[in-house]
A and B are shown apart, each in its own frame.
Chain A
Amino acid sequence: MERDFCMHNLKLPAVLALLLLFSAGPACGKVYIDIDSPSFQQFPIAVADFKPLRPFPENENLSLLFSETLSRDLTLTGYFHLLDRKAFLEDPKRAGITAEGIRFEDWTVIGAEYLVKGGFQTDGRELVAEFRLFDVVRGELVVGKRYAGKSGDHNRMVIQFVSEILLALTGEAGLFDTRIAFVRKSAASAEIYTINFDGSDPRRVTNYNALTLSPRWSPDGRFLVFTSYKEGNPDIYLRDLESGSTKKIGFYPGLNLPGSWSRDGKRLLVTLSRDGNQEIYDMNVGNSLLVRLTHDFSIDVSPVRSPDERRIAFVSNRSGSPQIYIMDADGADVRRLTYLGNYNTSPAWSPKGKKIAYEGSVNGRFQIFLIDAEGGDPQQLTFEAGDHESPSWSPDGRYLAYSVRGYGRSRIEIMNAGGQGVRVLHEDKEASQSPIWSPHLR
């Protein structure tokens, strides 16, 4: 009550004195200070050089290698602001790597919230490393791990610990166990490649010397489906990434193009042109049997399932221009989702189910947009020159991968779902396009 008085009586100077009489009791003395968040500062974190756990280490440059790899991987996530080591006050020779050996004020005073320390020891080809994350504001250990492996394993150990840090500070373990598949187009052919989330380890998946496109990961990450013209007709193939074997699963007359999988990995949404024009079907991956979902004289393509599998988003030009529509999983109740712009395609349903990312044409250039799955005003995420296409969500729903083409270059980029923190994942002169994010691969 009293607080209400405090908040609302200011317009009435005539009654002010009276109100003051009633409200001036001590209960009204409480002041509230409002602070609104979206300044979005990254976590300030310091990474100290790793210390040898034993005197006279065999491999001294591991000390720097650990801290530098760790700094790089933390930066990649977009959540951390790495403090410059030149600002460090601590004497590395005297300080320890456990809470007892650290003066936390040395770190808070330079603005750190978190500190990573660690140590290593080598024994022939064996490598043991300890990692500790400290909350220096509270002055306590957040998480500590000890990894044992071979001498070349330091990268894997670092990635493992960065995942621990992310889990502790953001609630998600990060994406270091994910890969991104994309299509690399040259003059005569297009092949599928995959690359790690941190841009490392690019691998070629297909080598058909033919047009190959539209890769889609199975929910367990073991299979990739894609369309290839390698036998003349655009058919759908299933590649087992473990065994390397490939099987043709969609070979109806005309176009066969894969869409999204069901969660159990048994069904695949596909676009086929066997009935005259492109229509959407739900295909059984095991026996290729079909259930037709759309019946329209216009083109219906690019189907994606909602995470709860109750709805399907797709692209249709039934209104005259390509727009995104949503229908029930059985094809009923079709409704138009996008109205702004005259060319909206490539829908990607967010893993949490609330949003749909897509590409839309703005002044003749494609940009990435985000729209509520229930409809509403779209939010434009990219603004740079060039065509931004084929958005794909990370499995935690925090990032989008997409392709950028223009000025003779072609890139696969990653940004966070708010449109910030853009990072180039892959760049070359060939056309790289259609990135698609894998699920977590163990």
Chain B
Amino acid sequence: MISEQTDRERSGRDRLNSMVFISLLFHAVVLSLLFFTPSFPSPKLTFGPVYTVALVNFSGKTPEQKGVAAGAKELMEAGRTETVLRKRLEAEPVIPIRSLESRRKQDRTLEKAMEEIRKRAAAAEPTPKPQTKDGSNAKAMPEEKAGPASPQPAGDADMDAKNNAYYAMIWSRIKRGWALPQGILPGDVLETVIDVTILRNGAVTEVNFEKRSGNRFFDESALKAIRKASPFPPMPAWIGEASLGVGIRFHSSELRP
């Protein structure tokens, strides 16, 4: 949007050109303020939503991303092949038994990747990261903030990877416990979204349907998967929130005559 406008303006009118200059100047000022103001609100720093959503979202809808931490990348890869498998099941579902087997193998590779991430996260934890709680530690923030703006993101991406490691743990726990035998769903693609609130100790306090699929057996199995998976692992120290609101989307696209 922004770049389109400036192109047009450059081709034509001088007045607008100056407006662009003013706009750029304004942004530069705001940005530099951002860089050097110590009182920036904490949540967005400790918990960068822009990255978080994209990385944990295994549905394959998100655009490809470069420059994420290695651990997160592995996770993404594991997640992505999972999605590809699912698609293959839909598009040319010819070898169901075999694809189930390879899925199991897939789960194992994912678990391996998860294990590695967990280790890395555990190794990273003791290093001094003062931005852990409530974001009251003002001095650490500007440095952290420089991350996304700089051409080579380091700090935030790393932290996002750690956040994602936590989400991946939740993902894996729920998926492992989600029991839904083949053959009892209608042919339509179903989606249920359940909102949960996670406390620092991992306890799941609120569980609400944001969206029901319309199939009560599917909804029930999703709800049960969350109940079985809870309490979740305690929130890692680097997540600065007192509680997390997470939406868990369950999808199904089983072929059913």
Interface residues of A (CB under 8 A from B): 3, 5-11, 13, 15-21, 23-24, 26, 28-44, 78-81, 108, 113, 137-138, 169-172, 350, 352, 354-355, 357, 370, 377, 379-381, 383, 393, 397-399, 416-421
Contacts and interface: CB of A to CB of B under 8 A. Distances in A.
A35 B62 contact: no
Given A31-B167, A36-B83, A377-B92, A10 B224 contact: no
Contacts of B252: 36-38
A32 B2 CA distance: 28
Interface in B41-59: 43-44, 47, 49-54, 56-59
> Which of A37, A41, A418 gathers the greatest number of chain B CB atoms within 10 Å?
A37
A30 B246 contact: yes
A358 B97 CA distance: 19
A28 B49 CA distance: 6
18 contacts: A16-B50, A17-B148, A32-B57, A32-B193, A33-B56, A33-B174, A35-B178, A36-B59, A36-B86, A37-B252, A37-B253, A137-B227, A350-B257, A352-B257, A377-B92, A379-B255, A418-B96, A418-B255
B12 interface: no
Contacts of A355: 257
A216 B217 CA distance: 33
A6 B50 CA distance: 5
Contacts of A80: 181
A30 B246 CA distance: 6
Given A26-B43, A355-B257, A113 B247 contact: no
B53 A137 contact: no
A178 to B, nearest CB: 16
Q: 9 closest A-B pairs (Cβ-Cβ)? A: A355-B257, A24-B44, A350-B257, A37-B252, A17-B149, A40-B182, A79-B181, A41-B179, A170-B184
B248 A33 contact: yes
B44 A39 contact: no
Contact of A23 (B49, B94, B174, B224): B49
Contacts of A19: 50
A135 B246 CA distance: 26
Interface string B230-257: 0000000000000011111111111111
B181 A41 contact: yes
A29 B179 contact: no
A38 B53 contact: no
A354 B257 contact: yes
Contact of A32 (B27, B184, B224, B248): B248
B65 interface: yes
B63 interface: yes
Nearest to B30: A21
Contacts of A13: 151
A44 B179 contact: yes
Contacts of A5: 50
A399 B257 CA distance: 10
Interface of A is mostly: mixed
A381 B97 CA distance: 9
A24 B49 contact: yes
A354 B187 contact: yes
Contact of A35 (B43, B92, B100, B251): B251
A44 to B, nearest CB: 6
A420 B96 contact: yes
B90 to A, nearest CB: 9
A13 B97 CA distance: 43
Contact of A30 (B97, B100, B245): B245
A131 to B, nearest CB: 21
Contact of A10 (B50, B174, B193, B249): B50
A354 B34 CA distance: 59
B141 interface: no
Contacts of B193: 32
B78 interface: no
Contacts of B107: 39
Contacts of A108: 228
Given A113-B179, A416-B183, A36 B43 contact: no
Contact of A33 (B62, B93, B247, B254): B247
B170 interface: yes
B210 to A, nearest CB: 9
Given A29-B43, A31-B56, 7 more contacts: A19-B50, A20-B44, A33-B247, A34-B249, A36-B58, A38-B103, A417-B257
B254 A37 contact: yes
B50 A39 contact: no
A152 B61 CA distance: 59
Interface in B24-39: 27, 30-31, 34
Contacts of B225: 35
B123 interface: no
B171 A35 contact: yes
A42 B58 contact: no
B44 A379 contact: no
Contact of A398 (B44, B86, B95, B183): B183
B61 to A, nearest CB: 7
Given A40-B100, A418-B255, A18 B65 contact: no
A34 B182 contact: no
Contacts of A416: 182-183
A29 B249 contact: no
Contacts of A37: 178, 180, 250-254
Given A17-B34, A30-B245, A137 B228 contact: yes
Contacts of B175: 35, 39
A350 B181 CA distance: 20
Contact of B97 (A11, A42, A420): A420
B219 interface: no
A13 B66 CA distance: 10
A21 B97 CA distance: 49
B53 A34 contact: no
B50 A38 contact: no
> Which of B30, B89, B174, B257 gathers the greatest number of chain A CB atoms within 10 Å?
B257
Contacts of A380: 94-95
B158 interface: no
A21 B44 CA distance: 10
